[in-house]
Amino acid sequence: MPIQSHLIFDFNMGPQAFVLCKCLIDNFTIHDGHVAIRGSTLDSVLFRVGVIAALRSKKLDGLAVGVMVTASHNPEQDNGVKVVDPRGEMLEGSWEAHATNLANAPTTDDFLAVLDTLIRTTKIDISKPARVVYARDTRPSGVALVAALEDGLSAIGAEGRNAGVTTTPILHYLVKAINTKNTPESYGDDSEEGYFQKLGTAFQNLVAGRPPLEALLIDCANGVGALAASTLTEYLDGSLSLILENASISTPGALNFACGADYVKTMQRLPPSLADRLKPGQRACSLDGDADRLMYYYLDERGIFHMLDGDKIAALVAAFIVDLVKSAGLENEVKVGVVQTAYANGASTKYLAGRLPVKCVATGVKHLHHAAEHFNIGVYFEANGHGTVLFSPSTQSKLALYQPSTPAQSTALKHLINLTQLINQTVGDALSDILLVEVVLAHKSYTGIEWDSLYVDLPNRLVKVVVNNRNAFRTENAERRLLSPPGLQSKIDELVRRYDGGRSFVRPSGTEDVVRVYAEAVVRSQADELAFRVAGLVYDAAGGDPSKRPKEFL
């Protein structure tokens, strides 16, 4: 059945995920990070994803591989697929090339021929078992896609486990829990219940004895987060009240529409549906369509919207963990670091860099996740609200064996150990991140206002420029400087110098056919002006028609 929608392959996933198709043909439009498919028969692609995931599992001796059908924060008519690797590594380049060929084979005969080559060249023992655990978000098109995926799994004789309608981070949890079952590294019971139990128990341990916080309002983006947040409530046992808004998962077209984390971050405003729901000073947050992004915010007494984005979450959480490490007497042994991208607000970088090591990496969760693994405790968040905290295996063992010498050290140690249970370390997880934020707020007795005042965001502006060939834009230094088109970077530098606190950079998007321009400055009007002027330079350098130059580009 042809489905008129977009299928998105996400290349920007964490190391747990790989993406199958880098250069698809005909119906497929390629955008580095994602591959969008318009008006194509998606069923055959999902069938092949099933086969590829099963082969990946066979190659890894039957370890479970995950497949998530979702298009995250994108509109409801889009859909996509992410494959979750059991070992938390990126797919080998050679294997990825074979997988690409498999997905692109024009006919069934070609498909079988490529399959045969893949099995031979990667030395897959086809008699090995294959296990694939899969799930989907609430998009209506997901039903047919999952059915096609199941056909692919049956065709190759893989054992499939349907995890139903759930969040991307829960699917990641399940993959890790299945593969570590009955081992010393057991990640938890391999069920949704195990996930909620793990988070709920750790949260209750962490807030025990603290005065309860005011209820938190959650904008569920009319997506699967509504189901998961509702179940989570049962496991919190009254330790935190959640008020679920935008929880209409069966209203056509409602998913991510004028709500959700991406809306809040992009528009820098409250979802209109919450306007008469939120009291001044009350904390609220938005999830995205698959619940792996989180934005907090509040309205002040004058009704002005204040956004607490991924950078503010990183600042809150990193400072808290550094304090706990110190209180536990472990500051010489456990080093905490933060990983950001160039999109992190300059004020957040300044705040964090005064307290702990901060590393800047290229956009894309895989870069952040890898860099965070180099710290004993690595905190990473994208400004858009995707992030988590990684405790290295040696740090986890150290915490388990450490003998505290005072009651205060013992308490801090217990908190750290509970944090390793509360945080979903496989991938950014909006629900786990909510609980993490709420723990810190409870410990610090902070409202949103105090949290917000850790530092003041520099006004910033993100602009898209549509160009003929965004591959003409090449970058260096964690995407902060342009190598080409020649001469453009020095023009940007010259412009930036004229703005107080000015910073701007240009990079090609990995997920859309545009070039992104980011700018910040001390004053809002200056940040806007700088962004539009740099966008104008980009437009000219890309050979745009001067008569069609967007008027806001000055």
Interatomic CA distance for residues 137 and 160, integer angstroms: 17
- Residue 151, marked binder: no
From 277, 509, 528, 549, residue interacting with ligand NG1 (rule: CB under 6 A):
509
**Binder of ligand NG1 out of 6, 7, 9, 10 (CB under 6 A):** 10
Pairing assessment for the beta strands 294-299 and 284-287 based on DSSP bridges = antiparallel
Q: Which is nearer to ligand NG1, 59 or 73 (CB)?
A: 73
Q: Is 508 annotated as a binding residue?
A: yes
510 annotated binding-site participant: yes
Q: Is the dihedral of CA 347, 348, 349, 350 positive or negative?
A: positive
* Residue of 192, 323, 382, 438 that binds ligand NG1 (CB under 6 A): 382
Which residue spans within 412-511 are E strands per DSSP?
460-465, 474-476, 481-484, 503-508
Does 33 participate in binding ligand NG1 (rule CB under 6 A)? yes
Rule CB under 5 A: is residue 137 a binding residue for Zn ion?
no
Closest distance to Zn ion from the beta carbon of 293 (Å): 5
Residue 408 is encoded by which pair of tokens?
A: 């205060």
CA distance 431 to 292: 8
User: Is 511 known to sit in a ligand binding site?
Assistant: yes
For residue 507, say whether it is annotated as part of any ligand binding site: yes
Backbone angles phi, psi at 187, to 5 degrees: -90, -10
Partner touching 70 among Zn ion, ligand NG1, none, CB below 5 to 8 Å by kind: none
Q: Considering the complex, state which of residue 381 and residue 446 has its C-beta at the smaller distance from ligand NG1.
A: 381
Residue 511 interacts with ligand NG1 (CB under 6 A): yes or no: yes
Q: Which of 104, 141, 167, 384 binds ligand NG1 (CB under 6 A)?
A: 384
Which residue is associated with the tokens 């915490």? 399
Q: Establish if 343 lies at the interface with ligand NG1 (CB under 6 A).
A: yes
Residue 366 binds ligand NG1 (CB under 6 A): no
| Strand ranges of the sheet holding 336-341, from the earlier edge strand across to the other edge | 358-361, 336-341, 377-381, 387-391
Of the candidates 538, 278, 322, 277, which has an alpha carbon nearest to the alpha carbon of residue 440? Answer: 322
Query: CA-based angle 76:435:176, to the nearest 5?
Result: 70
User: Residue 134: helix, strand or coil by DSSP?
Assistant: strand
Q: What gap in Å lies between CA 211 and CA 337, rounded to an integer?
A: 30
Structure-token pair, residue 437 = 């934020």
432 near ligand NG1, rule: CB under 6 A: no
Specify the residue, 292 or 457, whose C-beta has the smaller distance to Zn ion. Answer: 292
* Binding mask of the shown chain, residues 58 to 87, with x at each position contacting Zn ion by CB under 5 A: --------------x---------------
- Helices 407-422 and 192-207: crossing angle in degrees, nearest 10, is 150
Q: How far is the CB of 85 from ligand NG1 (least distance, A)?
A: 16
User: Is the torsion defined by CA of 321, 401, 391, 166 positive or negative?
Assistant: negative
512 is a site residue for ligand NG1 (CB under 6 A): yes
Find which of ligand NG1, Zn ion, none residue 74 binds, CB within 5 to 8 Å per kind: none
Residues 458-477 that bind Zn ion (CB under 5 A): none
Q: Which residues contact 163 (CB under 8 A, 6 or more apart)?
A: 133, 134, 135, 170, 171, 174, 192
- Residue 516 binds: one of Zn ion, ligand NG1, none (C-beta under 5 to 8 A by kind): ligand NG1
Does 387 engage in binding with ligand NG1 (CB under 6 A)? Answer: no
- Which residue, among 384, 385, 380, has the nearest Cα to 366 in the 3D structure? 380
Q: Residue 482 in 3-state DSSP?
A: strand
**In the stretch 274-303, what mask flags binding to Zn ion with x, by CB under 5 A?**
--------------x-x-x-----------
Q: In 3D, which of 434, 431, 16 has the Cα closest to residue 196?
A: 431
Judged by CB under 6 A, does residue 337 bind ligand NG1? no
Report whether 350 contacts 422 (CB < 8 A): no
> Least distance to ligand NG1 from the beta carbon of 9, Å?
11
Residues 371, 378: contact at Cβ < 8 Å?
yes
96 annotated as belonging to a binding site for a ligand: no
Question: What are the Cα distances from residue 402, in Å, to 186, 205, 329, 332?
Answer: 20, 19, 10, 13
Residue 290 among known ligand-binding residues: yes
**288 marked as part of a ligand binding site:** yes
Amino acid letter at 252? P
384 annotated ligand binder: yes
Query: How many alpha carbons lie under 13 Å from residue 71 in its C-beta half-sphere?
Result: 23
Assess 504 for contact with ligand NG1 (CB under 6 A): no
Q: Which does 343 bind (CB under 5 to 8 A by kind): Zn ion, ligand NG1, none?
A: ligand NG1
Which of ligand NG1, Zn ion, none lies near 309, with the C-beta cut-off 5 to 8 A by kind?
Answer: none
- Check binding of 12 to ligand NG1 (CB under 6 A): yes
Q: Is 71 annotated as a binding residue?
A: no
8 Å CB contact between 518 and 545: no
Active site residues: 72
Residue 288: contacted member of Zn ion, ligand NG1, none (CB under 5 to 8 Å, by partner type):
Zn ion
Closer of 21 and 413 to ligand NG1 (Cβ): 21
Query: Minimum distance from CB of 347 to ligand NG1 (Å)?
Result: 17
Stretch that binds ligand NG1, among 149-157, 165-173, 183-191, 503-511 (CB under 6 A): 503-511
Q: Is 135 annotated as a binding residue?
A: no
Task: Please state the residue numbers annotated as binding site.
Answer: 72, 288, 290, 292, 382-384, 507-511, 516
Q: Residues in the site for ligand NG1, rule: CB under 6 A? A: 10, 12, 33, 343, 363, 382, 384, 386, 509-512, 516
Task: Please state the residue numbers annotated as binding site for substrate.
Answer: 382-384, 507-511, 516
Q: Residues in the site for Zn ion, rule: CB under 5 A? A: 72, 288, 290, 292
